[in-house]
Amino acid sequence: MRPIQLDARLGAVANFVRKDSVVADIGTDHAYLPVFLVQQNIAKKVIACDCNAGPLSRAAETVKAYRMENGIVLRLGDGLKVISPGECDDVIIAGMGGELIADIIKAAPWVKDPRYRLILQPMTKAERLRKFLLESGFAVERETAVVDSDKIYNVLCSAYRGQVTFDETDIFFGGLRSDQSAAAAAYRQKVIDRLQKRMAGLQKAGKNTAALLALMRKLQTNGKEDAAK
Ligand SMILES: C[S@@+](CC[C@H](N)C(=O)[O-])C[C@H]1O[C@@H](n2cnc3c(N)ncnc32)[C@H](O)[C@@H]1O
């Protein structure tokens, strides 16, 4: 059987999966990632889940085409509700908004256990997701940025640690705050550009921009401004 090819975004997600783990892929859609993980002998088994019948039937077609029925189990249902505590090691939630990813984690308190690795790839609102994780005791242990078809994506690798100290730079840049790669630098610039746009909107509306300005200064100096005081 020919090996399945992943794009750079899904490849970055796959890089965080632990060898021989049982993986829950929440919102699997086409199931390309589960096929890759089993084909490459990275995952022992993947439970590929989706809350919509259409994507899950697409997943079933991919699993059949690659003859992966022995390594991939398909489940229809909402978030982590279709996974029993202890049934998986690594949880992947990729290709969704940061707030939806946070809601899925919030609804499954059993993942507040250091044995689970959460591999999260938010398409939007990454800072809301990081804020939720850090405030809930999940550490962002590693993060990577990747450029794919001129877009920048980030992938977070997280686990529950009970109590985590963090600052605003961790919320906005996460594990990319001191990453020297070109992709991470582009990611940080994108965050600053977005805040700059928000500030221009506030200024136009005659609103107070002092807090946003202070945040942008901090991010532009990558959190070093506080340390220098
Ligand atoms: C854009 S696709 C992402 C597919 C794949 N994970 C990726 O990153 O390429 C999002 C998928 O998540 C599914 N989804 C959305 N909300 C979900 C939820 N609460 N539980 C499970 N699946 C969900 C959608 O049906 C859709 O198939």
Q: Which tens digit of pLDDT belongs to each residue from 121-161?
A: 999 999 999 999 999 999 999 999 999 999 999 999 999 99
Read off the pTM: 0.95
**For the domain bounded by 8-166, which CATH number is listed?**
3.40.50.150
Burial bucket for residue 188 (CB in 10 Å: 0-12, 13-18, 19+)? buried
Q: Which two tokens stand for residue 125?
A: 């609102």
The CA 122 to ligand 1 mean position distance, Å, reads: 11
The pLDDT value given to residue 228: 45
In 3D, which of 46, 28, 133 has the Cα closest to residue 89?
A: 46
The CA 96 to ligand 1 mean position distance, Å, reads: 6
The pLDDT value given to residue 10: 98
* CB distance 96 to ligand 1 below 6 Å: yes
pLDDT at position 163 over 50: yes
> Structural domain boundaries of the chain?
8-166, 179-229
101-104 long-range CB contacts below 8 Å, 24 or more apart? 101/129, 102/128, 102/129, 102/132, 102/133, 103/79, 104/26, 104/79, 104/80
pLDDT at position 49 over 90: yes
Residue 44: which H helix or E strand, with range?
Answer: strand 43-50
For residues 175 and 141, the answer to whether their CB atoms sit within 8 Å is yes
The pLDDT value given to residue 225: 56
Residue 56 CA: nearest ligand 1 atom is 27
Q: How confident is the model at residue 30 (pLDDT cuts 50, 70, 90)?
A: very high
* CB distance 123 to ligand 1 below 6 Å: no
Q: Across all residues in the chain, what is the average pLDDT?
A: 95
* CB distance 26 to ligand 1 below 6 Å: yes
pLDDT at position 196 over 50: yes
Average pLDDT for residues 161-177, to the nearest whole number? 96
The CA 164 to ligand 1 mean position distance, Å, reads: 29
